[in-house]
Amino acid sequence: MKSIEKFYYNINSGRHVCVGLDTDFNKIPEFLKHSDDPVFEFNKIIIEKLSPFVAAFKLNFAFYEALGQQGFLTLEKTVRIIPENVFTIADAKRGDIGNTSQMYAKSVFDYLKFDSVTVNPYMGEDSISPFLNYNDKLSFVLALTSNPGSKDFEKLTLKDGEFLYQKVINKVKEWNKNKNCGIVFGATNFSELKNSMTDLASLPLLIPGVGAQGGSLNEIVKLMNQVNHNDFIINVSRSVLYKSNGEDFAEAALSEMLSLNEQINNPA
């Protein structure tokens, strides 16, 4: 199954939750910290328990790069054990001059075999095109992110009256010749998301910011249903990974996962 097909297979099967494997050694259960590769052991158990119920797993590279060589090995081992039918996202936020982005694209797609990547559009089309040349892979472009600092640049008003994030969305629509572009739009900017849904109609959405960051799952799901936009995945991390810090952590994560699926597929 091609990567893009995998994305649509999962969402059309009613799976819209992406679990971010942003695994922090300091937050995993104590009994795992004595293993040879504690972060990998934690990830392995989470993946085995949750895979039948998730749309995707997203690995934020920072949590692995911070551990040096061992961290990169852990990242590589983790992505290799994710079942073939589960969509994978390299949350690396890449974007550089063309030849550098080409190497980044080779790393995440050819070597690590991720299905998709997050990319930063700040340097323009030539910094994104090496990723888009992989026709069967999705690239999620940062538009309006969930962090407080998003207002510093992403919400700037341009001379033509558009916000900068709106200009990004419209540019992505121009770049989307291979139908392999998506958008990252933070749940914490709900009113902006609601006002942008016409422009986002043809684009898959990766929506972070639900849970610990304050975004409302219920609001997002109601909006997607109202505008009949099914091509979305909602990222959750801490609220699932660290639901329990005991030996029952996997069962607690599964319980939270099932609750999220129920809220999405049968909203109040």
Residues identified as active-site: 93
Helix axes 38-50, 249-265, angle to 10 degrees: 40
User: How far separated are the first and last CA of the chain, in Å rounded?
Assistant: 34
The answer to whether the beta carbons of residues 116 and 139 sit under 8 Å apart is yes
φ and ψ of 74, to 5 deg: -65, -45
For residue 110, give the amino acid letter.
Answer: D
The answer to whether the beta carbons of residues 134 and 110 sit under 8 Å apart is no
73-99 burial, b at 16+ Cβ within 10 Å, e below that, comes to: ebbeebbeebeeebbbbbbbbbbbeee
User: What residues have CB less than 8 Å from 37, skipping those under 6 apart?
Assistant: 70, 73, 74, 77
Rounded distance, CA 158 to CA 161, Å? 5
Please state whether beta strands 17-20 and 56-60 pair in parallel, antiparallel, or not at all (unpaired). Answer: parallel
φ and ψ of 237, to 5 deg: -135, -80
In the chain, % helix, strand, coil (3-state, to 5) comes to 50, 15, 35
φ and ψ of 228, to 5 deg: 55, 45
